[in-house]
Structure 1
């Protein structure tokens, strides 16, 4: 089913059935469809049509999903924007995507802004134009190790395929109830916690900003059958005393992704929650997930599971040769879930997708049972509590300071967040700028989660044999402190 038709289909099948809720409102299928129609009319009045990009710069709330489906009803494209980005960061994404309208709680200077509170709650049942499976549905922004963030283009075929794969792997049915606690500007939040359950006839409840202190109360009130989280969230929940008396009886399973989860933490979470915690692996370019530890079959903590049905996941060497089990190489993915490409970046697309294989930049191997083991990351990406941080972005900001000669950012281990960015900075001759001043300098241009946890002033940065900054040596120096 094309997602543009889903709200109307659910309303016809069960108009009074539960569909979507947040902390303020609960919508039946008919009410959700009405809101989508109303928002689509408002978008049309503001000049949005087929192929036009719409930016959603919203926290977790029902209106995000309403606007998402309203845009798709018109054949428009959605780019979700992290509302915690600075004006500079958000402005870059809005401009790069070509968004002509931004739905946001705050005024955005770079484009026409529409408040989510002004979206109509109903609209005429105008007929849908023929949905196009190959039309771009989402542009998710993600960074490489160099340059500015890139727009990952996902079409409706990608979303339908990924939602179907996810639903099949987790055995979703109309009896399920998703609790969304991850941000809606991530493809994980959109696909796993919203699109997959809604397409399966299930319902979804959107929680606001995650809070470990209130999570167990939300769980008892909402009574979901599953939720998806990152390792940092599980670590925070298991550190709370409330888990000893919490009611987990409604849960059927839980999902973990975005960063590797220690095997001991998975085991502990399964003991506390009393349900399977299935860990997976994927990336935005693959529309979220490519492997998952089987819900019904053997789960192997320390691995990220087996390939989802409908995808080919393999290990390839630098020469393009597929490797046998046990040998490490680059993880490559092939299937209907693989992105259409990077927006306006044909050369980078050609490097990432070769002969149908998506090159992930991650190193892994398959064990003797066919389970994928992550070995390392080719890229230098830092994953802080499930949020992707790219050193080049932080380095670029630091280099704007006139007293900075060189800057290099690496990840340092953190017991709860997994990793945090640490910046090494060498100063120009005679400069006396301190770490506190540099930290303040970064604040205006970087979102809070990207700010370095520590800035270390050094005389010079180490270099390898070919003259490049030796980041492994910097990481090793942190471990020896």
Structure 2
């Protein structure tokens, strides 16, 4: 089974049921299925064959859903790309990914005219109408330009899709590339379908659920948890073009949303508006957090304010992405990423790959039908990440005696102070518990005496919290070598498009 075939089954079973809502308009499963078939048929007529690569560079919209499922229907390999990337960033991925067609928004077309000569393998640029009043050069990208809407209108419902095998490549997800160039994680139809199904089963996401997609769809967290999982079971997806706390509250109340998925930063923004919007969240039965570790103080405050449980989980692009979630049939543990989801095994090992004792810190490794084939055209990097059937995550973790895992920190984020290990998250948890701190990020900085020192970047509320006060607060709860030697106040912390705090940018800030 795969996502495309399952959509067909769901459309036949629930033809009139709403698949997604976008800007007030509802689209049924049969309408979605029809658009997917027509788009796939026209791609084939344009000369594309099973196994060809197509880039999907659009924001949260029906274009994304139809483009994704339409390409998968005819066996193309989809490469989702952040529309906010620069032309330089896109060029690398499009060339490295051997892309033959690009689906993108009309407002981005000028960006592609600047790099088109560097992309001779791209045969078509399929333009999606943004609704903006654009005056585009009709010769833009010459004969390579096609209209997304027109392709669907010209498509045929009489289309025989090629057979899709479990191990056929479906998506290549380029990681953010914390060091060096981005790496393309190769995910099969089996990887994507199994993880969406296992997540839906584990979190009981069903046909009665209405899931809000506020995270960017090009990110694998949203792709699996807020799009594929609900569509598998006949649920309804509310597509939000971008995250806005007030819009989330408004849409949640208007459309009776039952499931919200977000990163910790989103929950922080929602919490700041809790007092006047609490009732709007009354229908939410489940909140899902991932993408980054959620500070325990934030989790407890949010749950208290909205009277709803947050199930924190863990995943990575290379695992499609989910490997752990806090179960719903028992009390969740604050600070934990939960237990193994269905059909996935996690364990913590030492530097030799040997499982450590319960409670000890080591590297988290993962095994399951959700784990990638490898990195595209990067055999050496693949050999480092995949060993003896296990995916090495690069995250330091521990497991308790009930099988709950806790992320301690990224391997590369570990700070060595005079030979002592300092995990940034531990220091961040302490600072987050201060009543005036709203955001914090801890990094290691060079120190002539200890090798590295602990530096904290902090965002506070309107109060007059001082560096001395925060350092004194840390002294009450941390051993001396873990206490920040420097604290810098910022108006906001640098984040990526999913709201994940970018420690690398903060480290570069120190170096520069």
Name the TM-score, length of structure 1 as normaliser: 0.79
Q: Is 1:114 the counterpart of 2:147 in the alignment?
A: no
Question: 1:41: how far off?
Answer: 2.3
Aligned residue for 2:362?
A: 329
Aligned residue for 2:36?
A: 36
Aligned length: 406
Name whichever of 66-75 and 319-328 sits farther off. Answer: 319-328
Mapping of residues 239-254 of structure 1, within 5 Å: 239-240=272-273, 243-254=276-287
| Counterpart among 191, 196, 203 of residue 229 in structure 2 | 196
Cα pair 1:237 1:243 within 8 Å, conserved: no
Aligned residue for 1:50?
A: 50
Secondary structure of 1:246 counterpart: helix
Aligned residue for 1:444?
A: none
Aligned residue for 2:342?
A: 309
Question: C-alpha separation between the residues in 2 aligned to 1:242 and 1:116?
Answer: 39
Sort the Cα spacing of 1:415 and 1:259 in 2 relative to 1 into closer, same or farther, 3 A: farther
| Counterpart among 178, 181, 184 of residue 217 in structure 2 | 184
Q: Is 1:68 the counterpart of 2:68 in the alignment?
A: yes
Question: 1:367: how far off?
Answer: 1.5
Secondary structure of 1:290 counterpart: strand
Q: Is 1:5 the counterpart of 2:5 in the alignment?
A: yes
Mapping of residues 42-191 of structure 1, within 5 Å: 42-105=42-105, 106-107=108-109, 108=112, 109=116, 110=119, 111=122, 112-117=124-129, 118-119=148-149, 120-121=152-153, 123-191=156-224
Sort the Cα spacing of 1:262 and 1:245 in 2 relative to 1 into closer, same or farther, 3 A: closer
Question: C-alpha separation between the residues in 2 aligned to 1:225 and 1:457?
Answer: 43
Question: 1:413: how far off?
Answer: 3.9
Aligned residue for 2:291?
A: 258
Question: C-alpha separation between the residues in 2 aligned to 1:10 and 1:179?
Answer: 20
Question: C-alpha separation between the residues in 2 aligned to 1:337 and 1:454?
Answer: 33
CA-atom RMSD in angstroms: 2.7
Question: 1:123: how far off?
Answer: 3.0
Aligned residue for 2:351?
A: 318
Question: C-alpha separation between the residues in 1 aligned to 2:216 and 2:169?
Answer: 21
Sort the Cα spacing of 1:185 and 1:237 in 2 relative to 1 into closer, same or farther, 3 A: same
Question: C-alpha separation between the residues in 2 aligned to 1:145 and 1:452?
Answer: 10
Question: C-alpha separation between the residues in 1 aligned to 2:95 and 2:197?
Answer: 32
Question: 1:245: how far off?
Answer: 4.4
| Counterpart among 267, 270, 277 of residue 300 in structure 2 | 267
Q: Is 1:370 the counterpart of 2:403 in the alignment?
A: yes
Question: 1:333: how far off?
Answer: 0.4
Sort the Cα spacing of 1:145 and 1:456 in 2 relative to 1 into closer, same or farther, 3 A: closer
Question: 1:26: how far off?
Answer: 1.8
1:367-412: CA deviation from partner (whole Å, max 9, x where unpaired): 12221111121134999xxxxxxx9xxxxxxxxxxxxxxxx9x995
Cα pair 2:294 2:312 within 8 Å, conserved: yes
Question: 1:125: how far off?
Answer: 3.1
Sort the Cα spacing of 1:456 and 1:156 in 2 relative to 1 into closer, same or farther, 3 A: closer
Cα pair 2:278 2:306 within 8 Å, conserved: no
Cα pair 1:158 1:337 within 8 Å, conserved: yes
Question: C-alpha separation between the residues in 1 aligned to 2:75 and 2:102?
Answer: 16
Question: 1:42: how far off?
Answer: 2.6
Cα pair 2:41 2:159 within 8 Å, conserved: no
Question: 1:10: how far off?
Answer: 2.0
Cα pair 1:139 1:154 within 8 Å, conserved: yes
Sort the Cα spacing of 1:70 and 1:246 in 2 relative to 1 into closer, same or farther, 3 A: same
Aligned residue for 2:494?
A: none
Cα pair 2:288 2:310 within 8 Å, conserved: yes
Mapping of residues 355-434 of structure 1, within 5 Å: 355-380=388-413, 413-415=457-459
Aligned residue for 1:442?
A: none
Structure 1: state its 5+ residue gaps: 384-390, 392-407, 417-447, 462-481
Question: C-alpha separation between the residues in 2 aligned to 1:144 and 1:347?
Answer: 15
Sort the Cα spacing of 1:376 and 1:456 in 2 relative to 1 into closer, same or farther, 3 A: closer
Secondary structure of 1:27 counterpart: strand
Secondary structure of 1:379 counterpart: helix
Cα pair 1:270 1:276 within 8 Å, conserved: yes
Question: C-alpha separation between the residues in 2 aligned to 1:42 and 1:196?
Answer: 27
Question: C-alpha separation between the residues in 1 aligned to 2:15 and 2:176?
Answer: 41
| Counterpart among 353, 365, 372 of residue 339 in structure 1 | 372
Aligned residue for 2:440?
A: none
Sort the Cα spacing of 1:239 and 1:36 in 2 relative to 1 into closer, same or farther, 3 A: same
Question: C-alpha separation between the residues in 2 aligned to 1:356 and 1:66?
Answer: 34
1:188-207: CA deviation from partner (whole Å, max 9, x where unpaired): 11100111111112121111
Question: 1:248: how far off?
Answer: 1.9
Secondary structure of 1:140 counterpart: strand
Cα pair 2:364 2:394 within 8 Å, conserved: yes
Sort the Cα spacing of 1:52 and 1:245 in 2 relative to 1 into closer, same or farther, 3 A: same
Question: 1:302: how far off?
Answer: 1.2
Cα pair 1:58 1:83 within 8 Å, conserved: yes
